[in-house]
């Protein structure tokens, strides 16, 4: 047998020096040394800014359970997008609040509905701004569940057809990425097929692949008026006790054609982010620092119990360190501003 032309190096048998030969503090002694040794960075390019858009201008204004967050009408939305861009934020995700809800979520895929209208309003920024849209029915159904109901159960497969129509209506209006969040089985594949059938091959899918049935969505449901009128979402969103199941969810969404996969919420699920990163090293991975994560930091800071810039950046750093490439966060604009001012955790 020919000798191996590339023999692997013998395994290194290096026993690192112990104290006093080795002193970990040497690389912590100055800001420049700490910067040199730093393993993880947060940059504004990695942040996605969630924006709530209301169809009824009278419904615009601050969200009480999310201090600092507002619901925008079409005009104020355009101004907020401009302000995000000038802060250095280059991606937004839009959540629509329609005027009318019904059992069939008709407004969710109306091409003159709140989200297509918002996307068209943002087209002047479309060369600089990544426009992502959330695809779900809960804001559009009168019962507040994420799919169409038969009695008290969701009809998964019938819901897929509606989700596919939503995605096409957003793509036709000019969205760059669509983000299905309803945790229906097969939603990514159904949306991919519908987009391709209508010629939207280049519109990507950011899938909420591992979305947990979390108590941390409370403030969002105030903002989006999307709380279920009965029951809860445990029959479709994931059980918080499970991590291996998240890997199966991610694998299926990748098979169905997801371009980016997401873990949500972020801070209580850092282990899941790490597991997904380890199992799928090459896949773009997003994490959503959700409304409840935002509001609890805000509340503590408002009381003077925490230092806001420092803990905001520390929380985002932790999510990045766990393995997320990008983060959806209501702090996006603030964080970009802190980073630009040279603040860090």
Residues that bind ligand PBG (CB under 6 A): 134, 136, 138, 146, 181-182, 217, 220-221, 226, 233, 290-291
Strand pairing class (47-54; 91-97): parallel
- In the residue annotation, 229 being an active-site residue is answered as no
Q: Shortest Cβ distance from residue 257 to ligand PBG (Å)?
A: 20
Residue whose C-alpha is closest to residue 298's, from 314, 287, 309, 288: 309
Catalytic residue among 101, 165, 229, 264: 264
Position of tokens 């479709």? 236
Q: Shortest Cβ distance from residue 278 to ligand PBG (Å)?
A: 25
- Runs of H (alpha helix) within the chain: 31-37, 74-87, 114-121, 156-173, 187-197, 218-224, 244-256, 270-279, 291-302, 308-322, 332-340
Q: Shortest Cβ distance from residue 305 to ligand PBG (Å)?
A: 22
Residue facing ligand PBG at closest CB distance: 220
Closest CB to ligand PBG among residues 28, 152? 152
Mutual angle of helices 308-322 and 332-340, in 10-degree steps: 100
Q: Shortest Cβ distance from residue 31 to ligand PBG (Å)?
A: 34
Closest CB to ligand PBG among residues 138, 273? 138
Catalytic residue among 101, 165, 211, 333: 211
- In the residue annotation, 264 being an active-site residue is answered as yes
Closest CB to ligand PBG among residues 138, 163? 138
Closest CB to ligand PBG among residues 110, 134? 134
Distance CA 104, CA 78 (A): 29
Q: Which residues contact 134 (CB under 8 A, 6 or more apart)?
A: 93, 94, 95, 96, 179, 181
Please give the positions annotated as active site. Answer: 211, 264
């Amino acid at each position: 047998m020919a000798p191996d032309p590339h023999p692997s190096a013998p395994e290194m048998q290096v026993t690192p020096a112990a104290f006093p030969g080795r002193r970990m503090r040497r690389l912590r002694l100055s800001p420049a040394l700490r910067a040199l040794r730093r393993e993880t960075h947060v940059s504004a390019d990695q942040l996605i800014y969630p924006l709530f858009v209301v169809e009824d201008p009278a419904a615009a204004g601050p969200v009480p359970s999310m201090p600092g967050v507002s619901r925008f009408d079409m005009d104020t939305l355009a101004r907020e997008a401009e302000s995000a861009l000038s802060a250095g934020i280059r991606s937004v995700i839009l959540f629509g609040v329609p005027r009318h809800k019904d059992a069939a979520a008709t407004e969710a895929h109306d091409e003159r509905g709140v989200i297509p209208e918002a996307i068209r309003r943002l087209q002047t920024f479309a060369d600089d701004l990544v426009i992502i849209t959330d695809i779900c029915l809960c804001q559009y159904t009168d019962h507040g569940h994420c799919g169409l109901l038969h009695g008290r159960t969701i009809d998964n497969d019938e819901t897929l057809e509606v989700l596919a129509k939503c995605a096409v209506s957003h793509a036709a209006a000019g969205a760059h990425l669509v983000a299905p969040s309803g945790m229906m089985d097969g939603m990514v594949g159904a949306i991919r097929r519908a987009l391709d059938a209508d010629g939207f091959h280049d519109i990507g899918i950011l899938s909420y692949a591992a979305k947990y049935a979390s108590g941390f969505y409370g403030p969002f449901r105030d903002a989006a008026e999307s709380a279920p009128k009965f029951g809860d979402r445990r029959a479709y969103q994931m059980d918080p006790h499970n991590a291996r199941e998240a890997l199966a969810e991610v694998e299926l969404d990748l098979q169905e054609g997801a371009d980016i996969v997401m873990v949500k919420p972020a801070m209580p699920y850092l282990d899941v982010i790490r597991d997904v990163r380890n199992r799928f090293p090459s896949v773009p991975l997003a994490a959503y620092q959700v409304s409840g994560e935002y509001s609890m930091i805000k509340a503590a800071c408002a009381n003077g119990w925490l230092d806001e810039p420092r803990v905001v950046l520390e929380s985002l750093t932790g999510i990045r360190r766990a393995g997320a490439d990008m983060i959806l966060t209501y702090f996006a604009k603030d964080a970009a501003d802190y980073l630009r001012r040279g603040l860090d955790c």
